[in-house]
Structure 1
Amino acid sequence: MEELIRFDGAELEYFSFGSGKRTFVILPGLATRSILFSRMMISAAYKRFCGDFTVYVFDRRKNIPPQYSVRDMARDAADAMRCLGLKNADIFGASLGGMTAQYIAIDSPELVRSLVLGSTAARVNPRLLEVSEKWASAADSGNLDALTDSFLGLLYSDATIEKYGDLLARMNDGLTAEELRRFSVQARAITDFDAYSELDKIQCPTLVLGVEGDKVVTAEASREIAGKLGCELYLYPSDYGHCVFDEAHDYKDRILNFLYKH
């Protein structure tokens, strides 16, 4: 089911599936297109959640202003959850979505039952800063070839590129000027991100999933979060990419096993 939530002048797209009693919220990473573009793939990837969970996947607001921080993204997602009457939710945030999820757990703990943070960071580091600025600049200049090449080189493993490279190389075909602007604003928001000093406000059970050799956020970023929270950490080997959440066959099982424990 696809829907549009309106609140305080904002419009935020989402979709949902499943019919379970527990609420599972997915906050996706930085992307050039709306999450509705990937709804069929996401629904298929998380179909095993459908029995015990009702799954909600939130995009960022449609009318993104020129200045839009990660904390703003978190406020929007939290407001969307409240509009839908969602609380005590299990939240999975991937990459930028993981940064957003941290602020939801910090600022709106009543909404969060447990937290899964995938391929993310608690604050910007030199590598993440370099990548974010590179992507934002490519989007600003409309250089789709450079943006796509960078995605392929930084997000995915060699095995994924070998198998799906031709398809992935077309991911940005036909992007509009507004889609590029939205992407640039979100990428630049990462350059100021810093939730590290507030991590001690997160009191819910948390699982951190990362990958050795992550070319976007680094594996050390995952270790830093887990070290500060004293929570469970699992790092996949370096033959996976930043988007290990789409690549590793057991990734969803690890999330489910964690959720069932809590």
Structure 2
Amino acid sequence: MKELHVHRTGTRGRPVVLLHPLALSGAVWDPVAEYLGQRHQVLALDARGHGESSWDGAEFSVEDMAADAAAVIEDFGAGPADVIGLSMGGSTALVLAASRPDLVHRLVLADATAWYGPDSAAEWAQRAERALGLDRRAQLEFQRDRWFADAFRASRPDEVERVCDIFVATDSKAHAAACRALGTLDARDRLGDVRAETLVLVGAEDYATPPAMSRELAAGIAGARLEVLDRARHLSLLERPDRWPVVAAHFAGEPS
């Protein structure tokens, strides 16, 4: 039986659900959760096979991860919740908001996409093979450069290594399965189903999900607002804590 682990921070206010990037866990959100936990109950979910969530080894999809997030919101009696998704978590949050609008109040999609392009299945299959074939630490050079801009890596080595430790601890088989799930993602026709007020964020230097992908999200979701963040790459919300108040203001329905 699948058991989903949730990192909980804060005890009051409307719940915020945090969905993490590929091959990491809900723990990656710790500094963000501490900030948002001053106003909200924060639920940071470990995706199946990641962190402390169990997994039966079967293939899964982004739609399955969205259903997991929906189950967590329902199990905690937390809906409708505000939701933040980063990278893989952003794609998951998008599908969640489109399929279960009753569970999502306001939405933040960071460094995410609805579709990785016509060659995505083959490209993500190669990523899956690399996840299985290389030692976890041998993959870190690629990941560090992808996740963080040069200046952040130089100024915050502690935070970079914290994220690296989470990556190293991730099950390679779950990492590979999640790669294959992203390779089959195509939620472009679901953008119009999103009813939640949406803020789209993307690092200006993000080459994993380039700003053009976020522009497509913002264009397809009614009323969505886009911010391109300079000095940030793929994990923009970790690199730019100055935007956390903007996220909090979005959830409060206040002008940022």
Q: How many residues get paired?
A: 247
Amino acid at match of 1:16: R
Bigger shift: 161-170 or 212-221? 161-170
**In 2: Cα distance, 1:173 partner to 1:99 partner:** 20
Aligned match of 1:51 = 38
| 1:35 lines up with 2:26 in the alignment | yes
3-state SS of the aligned residue for 2:5?
strand
The question of whether the paired residues in 2 share the 8 Å contact of 1:148 and 1:169 is answered with: no
**In 2: Cα distance, 1:131 partner to 1:248 partner:** 29
Candidates 230, 236, 241, aligned match of 2:229: 236
Aligned match of 1:207 = 199
Amino acid at match of 1:142: L
The question of whether the paired residues in 1 share the 8 Å contact of 2:12 and 2:40 is answered with: yes
Q: Which has the higher strand share?
A: 1
**In 2: Cα distance, 1:167 partner to 1:114 partner:** 28
CA RMSD in angstroms comes to 2.5
Identity of aligned residues (%): 26
User: Unmatched 5+ residue regions in structure 2?
Assistant: 49-53
Amino acid at match of 1:254: V
3-state SS of the aligned residue for 1:60?
coil
**In 2: Cα distance, 1:85 partner to 1:169 partner:** 35
Runs of 4+ with >6 A deviation: 126-131
3-state SS of the aligned residue for 1:44?
helix
**In 1: Cα distance, 2:98 partner to 2:109 partner:** 14
Candidates 245, 249, 253, aligned match of 2:245: 253
Aligned match of 2:149 = 157
1:152-192 superposed Cα distances (whole Å, 9 cap, x missing partner):
1211100122234587468259957x811111111121111
Alpha carbons of structure 1 residues 163 and 67: separation in structure 2 relative to 1, 3 Å: same
- What is the TM-score when the length of structure 2 is the normalising length? 0.87
- What is the TM-score when the length of structure 1 is the normalising length? 0.85
Q: How does 1:166-185 map to 2 (within 5 A)?
A: 168=160, 171=164, 175=168, 179-185=171-177
Aligned match of 1:82 = 74
**In 1: Cα distance, 2:138 partner to 2:129 partner:** 10
The question of whether the paired residues in 1 share the 8 Å contact of 2:23 and 2:167 is answered with: no
Q: Per-residue deviation at 1:137? A: 2.0
Bigger shift: 251-260 or 135-144? 135-144
**In 2: Cα distance, 1:156 partner to 1:221 partner:** 18
Amino acid at match of 1:56: L
